[in-house]
Amino acid sequence: MATDNTHTIAVLPGDGIGPEIMDAALHVLGAVSKKHGMTLKYLHADVGGAAYDRHGTALPEETLKACEAADAILLGAVGGPKWDSLPDDQKVERTSLLRLRKHFDLFANFRPAVVYPQLASASPLKPSIVGSGFDILIVRELSSDAYFGKRTLGDEEASDMMTYRKHEAERVAKVAFEAARKRKKKVTCVDKANVLASSILFRRYVTEVSRQYPDITLEFMYVDNASMQLIKNPHNFDVIVTTNMFGDILSDEAAMLTGSIGLLASASLNGKSFGMYEPAHGSAPRMAGKGIANPVAQIMSAAMMFTYSFSRPDIHASIERAVMAALGECRTKDVMEPGKREVSTQEMGKAIARHV
């Protein structure tokens, strides 16, 4: 259990680049615990394909127990070509990641896409669009939609039901409006309410919840337009609240606008203080074992844990400052630019740890 200065973290590195970026994040956590006199206890556990190979299941009972015993989960990534041909009911993404999200009712996924001035030139957008940088928070609904609806997979026909319920739209809307209150006070609801019934309902209850937040401006945008506006005018966005599938897609797009998906952290929250902290990217199988993956998304995911699970936003901010300082000196390959030193995943982790 958590006390002010002791926290237990379930550490689930998973597959592909997962173990490498997790190792870098643990370096940073080591520096944090030293600096703040904090005891961080780790419960290491297998997940994903690695767990499937060792235990015959992508989410072994011991892993679930470790997560239940912890104050927060820090996860790397799961999946890869080795497990892609498993039968539908054993697919590692669904049987581990989605099961964890469901089990802990992690319905609100925060994915902050921030272009920092230091990294402005890493963005593929024109400098005239990036300006002095932008800061978008995608609040992705994470517990429903086609991911968890009724599904059928036959030889001739397959279907995934996109279902939304009133309370699911309401609770994620509330989280998004609360987040906007601490930011620029604007929420854009992204959906496909011109076509999809699930989006009509989602939009209806986001609108209803907005009446409790007269200080927040609410805008609506269809997802196809949103994918374009993110590129054309990212400054137009503050908080985006959206359904599970659209949030999945738009967050990869937003990540790339910041320079690399290796920068996009995420927190999957249950509305209380429990959360799973995982980069938005996957296991990047082709990068695995080469020491070239960017660990910043993993490290910033760990940083978010201090705000949302441990009530220490000051530590979150100090890790973010350390990341910025380290990026001023060195870079992994994906965001490399002239004048910086190119470093490995591990060296990047160590550089950030030094700046903590």
Which residues does the annotation mark as catalytic?
147, 192, 224, 248, 252
CB of 180 to ligand NAD, least distance (A): 25
Nearer to ligand NAD, 198 or 266 (CB): 266
CB of 191 to ligand IPM, least distance (A): 17
CB of 151 to ligand IPM, least distance (A): 14
Its sign, for the CA torsion 331, 334, 339, 344, is positive
Give the interface segment with Mn ion, choosing from 91-99, 101-109, 138-146, 242-250 (CB under 5 A): 242-250
Smallest CA-to-CA distance from 116 within 347, 320, 330, 351 is with 320
Smallest CA-to-CA distance from 126 within 257, 263, 237, 249 is with 257
What's the rounded Cα separation, in Å, for the pair 343 and 352?
12
CB of 263 to ligand NAD, least distance (A): 8
The Cα angle at residue 243 between residues 335 and 166, in degrees rounded to 5: 155
Q: Which of 15, 20, 71, 93 binds ligand IPM (CB under 6 A)?
A: 93
Nearer to ligand NAD, 24 or 187 (CB): 24
The site string for ligand NAD over 121-160 (x = CB under 6 A, - otherwise) reads ----------------------------------------
Amino acid at 119: L
Smallest CA-to-CA distance from 198 within 163, 147, 151 is with 163
Q: Is 316 helix (H, G, I), strand (E, B) or coil?
A: helix
What's the rounded Cα separation, in Å, for the pair 276 and 308?
10
> What is the DSSP-derived secondary structure letter of residue 157?
-
Residues 257-286 that bind ligand IPM (CB under 6 A): 280, 282
CB of 285 to ligand NAD, least distance (A): 6
CB of 106 to ligand NAD, least distance (A): 12
Dig out the tokens for 32 from the structure. Answer: 């944090």
Dihedrals phi, psi of 334, to nearest 5 degrees: -60, -25
Evaluate whether 315 touches 37 at the Cβ level (below 8 Å): no
Q: Which does 283 bind (CB under 5 to 8 A by kind): ligand IPM, Mn ion, ligand NAD, none?
A: ligand NAD
Q: Considering the rule CB under 6 A, would residue 278 count as an interface residue with ligand NAD?
A: yes
Residues 248-277 that bind Mn ion (CB under 5 A): 248
- Going by DSSP bridges, is the β-strand pair 275-277/267-269 parallel, antiparallel, or unpaired? antiparallel
Dig out the tokens for 91 from the structure. Answer: 């697919």
> What is the DSSP-derived secondary structure letter of residue 51?
H
Q: Considering the rule CB under 6 A, would residue 282 count as an interface residue with ligand NAD?
A: yes
Q: Considering the rule CB under 6 A, would residue 283 count as an interface residue with ligand NAD?
A: yes
What's the rounded Cα separation, in Å, for the pair 187 and 218?
5
Strand partners, 188: 219, 240
What's the rounded Cα separation, in Å, for the pair 23 and 16?
13
The site string for ligand NAD over 62-101 (x = CB under 6 A, - otherwise) reads ---------------xxxx------------x---x----
Give the interface segment with ligand IPM, choosing from 90-98, 148-156, 174-182, 316-324 (CB under 6 A): 90-98
Q: Is 182 helix (H, G, I), strand (E, B) or coil?
A: coil
Residues 4-63 that bind ligand IPM (CB under 6 A): none
Nearer to ligand NAD, 172 or 261 (CB): 261
| Residues contributing to the site for ligand NAD (CB under 6 A) | 17, 21, 77-80, 93, 97, 260-262, 278, 281-287, 293-294, 297, 334
| Residues contributing to the site for ligand IPM (CB under 6 A) | 79, 93, 97-98, 248, 280, 282
| Residues contributing to the site for Mn ion (CB under 5 A) | 248
